[in-house]
Structures are given as structure tokens and as C-alpha cells.
Amino acid sequence: MKYTYLPKGVCSRKISIELDQDKILNVEFEGGCSGNTKGVAAMVRGQNANDVIAKLKGIPCQNKGTSCPDQLALALEKALKENG
């Protein structure tokens, strides 16, 4: 399943996710801090989406109240919910 999420409150403009049930096959960020978003995407590839959500949800960036990793966690939650 492919899922696109438009993050809020961060520099990234779009997060594209590819899942096989609850396994993350690929993540791509559009915009944001290139090294950080590529690093996060590489680290979550092959991982269980629920495990990644538990690790990344709530991580802040500066005083924004959210971050690209937090937005990825929210995107994964929505993707899993839509996938049933």
C-alpha cells in the first residue's frame, strides 16, 4: 500500500510511505533537512510500523511541538488505520 501524508508544522512538505501490511518498505520525505530525513527514512525501512510509531511519536523539533519524525509517526498511524 502506498500512502501520502502532508505534514503540518515542519519543513517537510510531503511524506510518501510504502507499506506491506504493517512492515515499512520505503519512506521518502519531500523538503526538510535532507540528511536528517534521509537518515530517518533509511533507519525505519524494513521495520514494523507500530514499533516506529512508538519510538518516534512526540519527538519535538526546537519549539515547534512536532518534528519530521513525529509527523512520520502520525502518517504511519493514519496509513495503518486506513489499511484496516
In a 3-state reduction of DSSP, which class is residue 13?
strand
CATH of the domain at 34: 3.30.390
For residue 84, the model assigns a pLDDT of 74
Q: pLDDT of 29-79, one tens digit each?
A: 999 999 999 999 999 999 999 999 999 999 999 999 999 999 999 999 999
| Residue 10 lies in domain | 2-83
Residue 35 DSSP class = H
Query: In angstroms, rounded to a whole number, what is the distance separating the alpha carbons of residues 26 and 6?
Result: 16
**Structural domains counted in the chain:** 1
Name the E strands within 1-84: 2-5, 12-20, 23-31
At residue 10, the 3 state secondary structure works out as: coil
pLDDT score for 74: 98
pTM of the predicted model, to two decimals? 0.95
